[in-house]
Amino acid sequence: MGKVAVGATVVCAAAVCAAVALVVRHRMRSSGRWAKAMAILREFEEKCGTPIGKLRQVADAMTVEMHAGLASEGGSKLKMIISYVDNLPTGDEKGLFYALDLGGTNFRVLRVQLGGKDNRVGKQECEEVSIPPHLMIGMSDALFNFIAEALAKFVATEGEDFHLSPGRQRELGFTFSFPVRQSSIASGSLIKWTKGFSIEDAVGQDVVGELTKAMERIGLDMRVAALVNDTIGTLAGGRYYNQDVIAAVILGTGTNAAYVERAHAIPKWHGLLPKSGDMVINMEWGNFRSSHLPLTEYDQTLDVESLNPGEQIFEKIISGMYLGEIVRRVLYRMAEEAAFFGDSVPPKLKIPFILRTPDMSAMHHDTSSDLRVVGSKLKDILEISNTSLKTRKVVVELCDIVATRGARLSAAGILGILKKLGRDTVRGGEKQKSVVALDGGLFEHYSKFRGCMESTLKELLGEVSDSIVIEHSNDGSGIGAALLAASHSQYLEVEES
């Protein structure tokens, strides 16, 4: 009996030893995996670093590229497009004005009654119209006829609160958010379509001419007074309420900036100098690139695999279209090389752009003790269940690294504009107030991004930061376009004389 018991004990002890060894091996393996995952994260964090010295180099490079883009066409990665907007709204504008905002699968029509300094925007109405998919790939006439008909229907619903001065034509500001070669305040030829549009016979045509012909065909008596993009609309909307606004930045799905330049500081401008002495420049700053930008291997592969490799590099590291995708790419590397989410790579994690920036923002802002928002996002979007708190904390840290880099680089870009305008220092002991109007979903809804950008700009500006203000300017592409129609109205000369 005793012998059997001893044998059983030995067998039992051996089994315990084997089990312990298995646990130890598993722990060593999982701690090895964890160490590998952390090494990937730390390396990424280091490559994304934006110390203040680097940000100053980025700002200086932005200023240099601005000078180069103003000197000659094609002189810089920054297009520095002359917008022909030389009169920004002052607040004195009066009358009824319309806006048309075409920038995607929907377009908006808007009307506004302006009452001058005392009554500003008296009354405003807006309507959104979906574009049938077949019109996005058909013929130019069909698309513009559809838009003109929607405009005519909207005009027909004009109520008694709106007053058009007798004998006057209705005037429209046209926000057209596609690449255009502008030739005057109210004309510009389409360079190419983006965002799912492909209407071959419109390329190279004057989009204002196309819209005007369509309005004439249905007997709608309306004049396009200004052709603008959403960034210039944001600048106009900001300036209307605050005359200290000198620049506008959009931080949304994409990103861009526009600012007010002195006309004599634009060497490539060969026309007559405008009476105001000013000219609004559409920077197209999403295309900025510099050796000082902290790019990682993830950014490089994202760029190579994108629809526009080598283009829009600045946009690809700071805008809402791409931030979530960068997070996904790092998580994928951690899953593949360090089994971060278990033995196999979650299939959904392989899908480009599955992790959108609003979801990244929700995870980054999760304040619950168990980070349950992070857990539910990983489960709902990537089908990764039962994640530990330790894992969730790493995901939040990764969101923070990506958002912080984007926000700090945005601040450096703004400093570049202020430097170009000589508003980054105190001149002759007096501080001039400078306001930058911001719009876009990323700025509006991702509060950690916004907070980081604002505090970084303060850090960069030092003592001057008191005189630089960031202001949210809502709906530039709508009301801004109507305000620009007012400030470029054909009836201004009549009123002034």
Residues recognised as catalytic: 108, 177, 230
Q: HSE, CB side, 13 Å, CA atoms: give it for residue 240.
A: 29
Tokens of 399: 């969101």
Q: How far apart are CA 447 and CA 135, in angstroms?
A: 38
Radius of gyration of the chain, Cα coordinates, nearest whole angstrom: 28
DSSP 3-state percent helix, strand, coil across the chain (nearest 5): 50, 20, 30
Tokens of 312: 């829009």
Residue 441, exposed/middle/buried by CB under 10 A (0-12, 13-18, 19+)?
middle
DSSP calls for 307-328: SSTTS-HHHHHHSHHHHHHHHH
Contact between residue 396 and residue 39 where contact means Cβ atoms under 8 Å apart? no
In degrees, rounded to 5, the angle at the alpha carbon of residue 476 between the alpha carbons of residues 180 and 152 is 75
Report the amino acid identity of residue 238. G
**Rounded (10°) CA dihedral 127, 178, 356, 291:** -150
Q: How far apart are CA 341 and CA 327, in angstroms?
A: 15
Q: How far apart are CA 107 and CA 290, in angstroms?
A: 35
Contact between residue 270 and residue 280 where contact means Cβ atoms under 8 Å apart? no
Phi, psi of 139 (to 5 degrees): -110, 155
The arrangement of strands across the sheet holding 468-472 comes to 81-82, 278-282, 255-262, 245-251, 434-439, 468-472
The arrangement of strands across the sheet holding 222-228 comes to 121-130, 106-115, 94-102, 170-176, 222-228
Report the amino acid identity of residue 439. D
CA dihedral (430, 433, 434, 440) positive or negative: positive
Tokens of 433: 């107030």
